[in-house]
Structure 1
Amino acid sequence: MALKNYKNTSFYLVISVVVIAIFRLMLTAAIPLLDKTESRYGEIARIMFETKNWVVLQIDYGIPFWAKPPLSTWLSALSFETFGVSEMAARFPSYLLALVLLIILGKLAKKESISFYLPAFILLTMPEFLIHAGVVSTDSALNFSIALIMVSFWKAMQNEKYSFWNYLFFIALGLGFLSKGPIILVLTVPPIFLWILIQKISIKTLYLKLPWIFGLLITAVISIPWYILAEKRSPGFLDYFIVGEHFNRFLVPGWKGDLYGSGHSQPLGMIWVFLLAFAFPWIQIVLYKIWKERKTIFKDKYVSYLIFWLFWTPLFFTISKNILHTYILPATIPIALLMIHWWKNYEKKKLMLIVGSVFPALVILVFFGAFLTGKLNFYMNSDKYLIENQQIDFNKNESLYYWKDKSYSGQFYSNGKAKTIADTKEMDSILNSGNKLFFILSNKKKKDIPAEYQAKMTLLDSNYKSAIYLLKPE
């Protein structure tokens, strides 16, 4: 009976992982790049691909983007080089990074005689990880780097001789600096330090376990050249990125220095709500297990290491008001590793698998429900279909305009051809140009357009937030 249950569970894991992974890959092509964040990074990568400027990221032609390092943009731009410009190509690198993580964790699970597919099932049924397994985001590269750092450090501490893991630690550190900057140190060094302190590991042991001199040289070679080149070609980058993005963003509520958007002000401690919601249901299971074994939990070196890794990120962001739910992404990996470590001791495995399947099942149902009812395009937070349905030919005196601010999806899907109209005076000039004029206007901004100009607008198409019009002289 036990063997039969094991086979049934294994079959369920394999089928579930394959179905969810294929569905997630399909979503990378089926859903347009969404405003604001995803389409913004997609457009930055598209501009990099078009201009071949691999050093200075640009949020628009000639306008530098100082907020993030280049790793995720490089990956998307290289994907464009390989597959052409599309939403799937933009997202494919993050899908690939997630896949690599699942393989690494699967191999770790297999060494403990646990199904190779269990960590993949746990992570792909966790909302935050599933979302990021195929979005254009710097957080995917950051999470990948953090996971490699933490896993390789643990492996290095267990090995008597140097192996690939000892050097991977420093390689991943370099990638971390290129994925999101010095925050990589903030999110990895403290949990490692606390674990070393609790486990009373000597400085000598720590020194001997890792090739510090050669390793830090590897980190420097990977990361420092880009920072030097970026500052040289775009002066002011280092001050904005280091001080603004790493201190002011988190310590100054509603930080006004953000050049690329408004701060995401949240109540203090909101990160814990995000953790409970976006790591469901596995974080609840892990928390229960930790509480149940709280008196002996830190006697296990491996478990204590994972606990420090898991809780450090939300602890760090507890005092920050400018946060997003994406900040809990680094906590998903230790949650999965803790579940793997304790899996054999759990009695209600089937129930866990069923509950874990709820979120991806809902996502699949909602997606196909929206698709079959024809409402999918209408509810997408993107201007893709407004633009593509009109088949605008920018080479034949046809132009696309936005009122005051253009969306990033509008920039991406017009291949950078979308322009803005600042005021009615500029609109008068454009109306006299003789071109065929398409005009995208958000529903909220329509009231800002004087009535005499609205009379010149012919509605062509719309979605839940915007509409596209044909502008014509009276």
Structure 2
Amino acid sequence: MIFFSKKINPYNFWVVLLILIRSFLNYAIPLMDKTEARYAEIARIMAETNNWTTLQIDYGVPFWAKPPLSTWLSAISFNIFGVNEFAARFPYLLLNIFVILLIGKYAKRNGLNFFIPALILLTIPEFILHTGVVSTDTALAFCVTLVMVSFWESIHNKKQFLWKYLFFIGLGLGLLAKGPIIIILTAPPIFIWMLIFKKFKTVWGSFPWILGTLITSIIAIPWYYLAEQKTPGFIDYFIVGEHFKRFLSSDWKGDKYGFPKSQPIGMIWVFLFLFAIPWIQVLTVKLWKNKTQLFKDKWLTFLLLWLLWTPLFFTISKSLIHPYIMPIMVPIALLTTHYWNEIKYKKQIITIALAIPILALLIFSIATLINNKNYYINSDKFLIENNSNKTLPIYHWENKSYSSQFYSKGSVKTIKDNIELSKKINSKEPFLIIIPHKKIKNIDSKNLKLLKETMSNYKKSSYIFN
């Protein structure tokens, strides 16, 4: 790690630099298919149609898979900054900055620099990635952090009443971020901690349960009610389908929007040790060396239960992806901070951790300089925007992508087969069509000869007919 003069604290410097790097990448990298572009397009439609109740995956097509919080945030950002990549991702950058500011005090209480937990978080690949990805996982992780931190502060800092209400606000927002999973991820570790340290009476007397439950209900229930009224069937699909059937079956037949995510049982642990490198490895060593002390310290036990519960819960599920570990990035950072003074070779570890985001920026910069960035990015942005004739109607062969929807501002249409393509060609009206390389064989050779390729990337090519 590079250290500076006494006037410049290295932790502060690297935290600011990492946030600037992530902000630049949020601006410069196109929205990716499938997931990120999908959520950005849903938010774009919301901002355009001014329909803040029903999420739409396409005009008039409801999206029942997720609650609205993340979509609201991106849609509001679009209204402020315009429809672009940075605006779509800006709320997630802010949420993770809020997380950093929320947990810095725990380092200060140990006599450490406020930004040590921030440096750890921003050098965890999963966290720095989701500081600029349009998804529901960052909002859920923020809500989990708010609930867990508020719980701890409420029973250990009783003079500050705000924490007692933030606990219930976090639950309400979590229900709007990703649904009842907020309760599943927070209640069990809290309950087990209460059981270990016999804190039921303390917890019962520390929270305004009636008023708090009312606050949570006021935040979350109105939207669920209105969403069901606008599109009947939403509650059944979202609560029963997304929360139970998806968890129990990776090939759930009722999935309207997703794609197969079948993983081996226990894959969540592989994701954890791969996407939280190097800090999860460092922390594992420290926890093992101090294993006899773990359940004697209330704070360590609280963080450890927070850390372990999510991967334990998802161990038996085959239907999962790596962002499911996002809610436990904070306990990794706080546990590592707790052992900070005991960690050997800190400079070397930080240097290794810093290499990941810095290498990402270097690779992106080099790719841009050699003008090859467009080729390797899974997005239709350049295929659409590099079209010289901006008035041409745009089509996508067979199934349109979410990035084509976003970058065409919803105007892209689908040509499903050669009959439709022949009719379009016979109309003699110029158009642009995007064709995946895998599906080029499905195009009739006579039709293909009449199309002129204009641009390509590693997945698709754009063709013009004029």
Tell me what 1:378 maps to: 375
Matched, 1:184 2:182: yes
Greater shift in the superposed pair: 458-467 or 111-120:
111-120
| Aligned counterparts of 1:345 and 1:268: Cα–Cα separation in 2 | 35
Tell me what 2:431 maps to: 437
Tell me what 1:40 maps to: 38
| Aligned counterparts of 1:344 and 1:132: Cα–Cα separation in 2 | 28
| Aligned counterparts of 1:376 and 1:174: Cα–Cα separation in 2 | 41
1:83 to 77, 81, 84: 81
Tell me what 1:369 maps to: 366
Tell me what 1:289 maps to: 286
Matched, 1:463 2:435: no
Quick check: 1:177–1:223 contact (8 Å CA) kept in 2? yes
1:385-435 superposed Cα distances (whole Å, 9 cap, x missing partner): 1100004434xxx21111110010000000000000111221122223343
| Aligned counterparts of 1:7 and 1:304: Cα–Cα separation in 2 | 37
1:74-102 superposed Cα distances (whole Å, 9 cap, x missing partner): 00000011011001100000001011111
What are structure 2's unaligned runs of at least 5 residues?
none
Q: What is the TM-score with the length of structure 1 in the denominator?
A: 0.95
Greater shift in the superposed pair: 70-79 or 254-263:
254-263
Deviation at 1:64, TM superposition (A): 0.2
Task: Provide the identity percentage.
Answer: 53
Matched, 1:254 2:251: yes
| Aligned counterparts of 1:205 and 1:391: Cα–Cα separation in 2 | 68
| Aligned counterparts of 2:348 and 2:421: Cα–Cα separation in 1 | 61
What are structure 1's unaligned runs of at least 5 residues?
none
| Aligned counterparts of 1:7 and 1:170: Cα–Cα separation in 2 | 44
Residue aligned with 2:434, SS: strand
Residue aligned with 1:55, SS: coil
Structural mapping, 1:54-453, within 5 Å: 54-161=52-159, 163-202=161-200, 204-394=201-391, 398-453=392-447
Code of the aligned partner of 1:264: K
Greater shift in the superposed pair: 399-408 or 385-394:
385-394
| Aligned counterparts of 1:50 and 1:433: Cα–Cα separation in 2 | 31
1:119-166 superposed Cα distances (whole Å, 9 cap, x missing partner): 111011000000000111100100000000000001111123451111
1:43-73 superposed Cα distances (whole Å, 9 cap, x missing partner): 0000000000000000000000000000000
Quick check: 1:431–1:471 contact (8 Å CA) kept in 2? yes
Q: What is the TM-score with the length of structure 2 in the denominator?
A: 0.97
Residue aligned with 1:417, SS: coil
| Aligned counterparts of 2:439 and 2:390: Cα–Cα separation in 1 | 26
Code of the aligned partner of 1:260: Y
| Aligned counterparts of 2:460 and 2:344: Cα–Cα separation in 1 | 51
> Could you say if the C-alpha distance between residues 8 and 281 of structure 1 is closer, same or farther in structure 2, counting changes exceeding 3 Å?
farther
| Aligned counterparts of 1:6 and 1:295: Cα–Cα separation in 2 | 38
Code of the aligned partner of 1:128: E
Quick check: 2:25–2:361 contact (8 Å CA) kept in 1? no
1:209-230 superposed Cα distances (whole Å, 9 cap, x missing partner): 1111101100000000000000
| Aligned counterparts of 2:373 and 2:316: Cα–Cα separation in 1 | 38
Aligned length: 465
Residue aligned with 1:195, SS: helix
Residue aligned with 2:461, SS: strand
Deviation at 1:471, TM superposition (A): 2.4
Residue aligned with 2:339, SS: helix
Deviation at 1:10, TM superposition (A): 7.0
Please give the root-mean-square deviation of Cα atoms over the aligned residues, in Å.
Answer: 1.6
| Aligned counterparts of 2:394 and 2:238: Cα–Cα separation in 1 | 33
